[in-house]
């Protein structure tokens, strides 16, 4: 009885070795590599997902080795002259700040992978490229962070529009208008001495011309100042005020004097002033 029992055990052990010998041979002959990518951060689980695209010249076998709870993996592929496919990794139940998804891919020919973060229809970001040799099983581990870092928020500076007058604008009005009026008074004295006739209409026309010149110069100065304020607000986020009301006043002043000056020239109001000596 005892010798029969020993013979029976020996037969069972021999049969077991014969059965597992192909598995041992497969494990010893196959080659594999583990690749851990850089962590990818997902801020908006409703729109963002990880896109793994693979491409090669021969069929590529892919499988999901590990997918943490809360992770959904979708995939598809097509085989033709070029084998290509993809995996989409989503966070469907955000219960943690970190996840791990592992994919396994192998092919008889070299192939490449492109791992990136996508947001809806926007272009991919955080792209990582991986090249895998032929007959190598690549296990790709993708660490995923959710809300681990605060998403950078860019706040556009608020532009406030006010009708108040800055100091530099008041200086332009106070300095330029009297200066041009003084020039008109001096010019009137020289013209009055060389003209055969001079009337109050000529004095009015000369004053109007210099007021038009002063409003034109003020308009250019105020416009330059408002443009400078706008660039300081938009590109340097400075908390300064955009004086749009002052620019509108400069436009109105130039329009009024420009209209009167144009009508005056049309009616010949400046003929005596512009008369050649």
Is residue 226 included in any domain, yes or no?
A: yes
Residue 8 resides in a domain: no
Of 81, 116, 146, which closes a domain? Answer: 146
pLDDT of residue 148: 47
Tell me the pLDDT tens digit for each residue of 103-114. Answer: 999 999 999 999
* Structure confidence by residue, pLDDT tens digits, 140-186: 999 988 874 444 555 554 545 455 556 666 777 888 888 888 888 88
What is the pLDDT of the chain when averaged over all its residues? 75
Is residue 120 scored above 80 in pLDDT? no
The predicted pLDDT at position 200 comes to 79
Asked if residue 20 belongs to a domain, the reply is no
Nearest in space to 196 (alpha carbons), one of 251, 141, 272 = 272
pLDDT tens for 9-58 read: 333 333 333 333 332 222 323 488 888 888 888 888 888 889 999 999 89
For residue 82, what are the domain limits?
A: 31-146
Higher pLDDT, 51 or 273: 51
What is the distance between the alpha carbons of residues 150 and 43, in angstroms, rounded to a whole number?
8
- pTM over 0.85? The answer is no
Give the pLDDT score at 25.
29
In this structure, the answer to whether residues 123 and 42 fall within a common structural domain is yes
Query: Could you give the number of structural domains in the chain?
Result: 2
| One domain for residues 141 and 182 | no
Regarding whether 199 and 93 lie in a shared domain, the answer is: no
Q: Is residue 21 part of a domain?
A: no
């Amino acid at each position: 009885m005892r010798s029969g029992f020993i013979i029976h055990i020996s037969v069972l052990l021999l049969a077991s070795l014969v059965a597992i010998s192909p598995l041992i041979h497969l494990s010893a002959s196959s080659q594999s590599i583990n690749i851990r990518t850089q962590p990818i951060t997902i801020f908006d689980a409703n729109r963002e997902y990880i896109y793994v695209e693979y491409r090669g010249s021969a069929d590529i076998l892919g499988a999901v080795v590990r997918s943490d709870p809360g992770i959904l993996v979708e995939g598809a592929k097509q085989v033709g002259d070029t084998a290509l496919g993809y995996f989409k990794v989503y966070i469907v139940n955000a219960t943690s700040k970190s996840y791990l998804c592992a994919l396994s891919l192998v092919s008889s020919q070299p192939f490449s992978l492109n791992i990136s973060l996508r947001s809806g229809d926007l272009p991919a970001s955080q792209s990582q490229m991986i090249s895998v040799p032929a007959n190598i099983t690549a296990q790709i581990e993708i660490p995923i962070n959710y809300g681990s870092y605060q998403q950078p928020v860019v706040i556009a500076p608020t532009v406030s529009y006010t009708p108040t007058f800055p100091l530099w604008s008041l200086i332009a009005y106070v300095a330029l208008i009297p200066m041009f009026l003084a020039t008109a008074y001096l010019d009137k004295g020289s013209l009055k001495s060389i003209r055969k006739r001079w009337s109050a209409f000529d004095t009015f026309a000369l004053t109007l011309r210099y007021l038009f010149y002063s409003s034109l110069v003020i308009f250019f100065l105020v416009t330059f100042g408002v443009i400078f304020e706008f660039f300081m607000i938009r590109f340097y986020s400075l908390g300064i005020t955009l004086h749009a009301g002052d620019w509108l006043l400069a436009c109105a002043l130039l329009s009024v004097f420009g209209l009167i000056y144009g009508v005056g020239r049309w009616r010949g109001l400046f003929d005596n002033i512009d008369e050649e000596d």
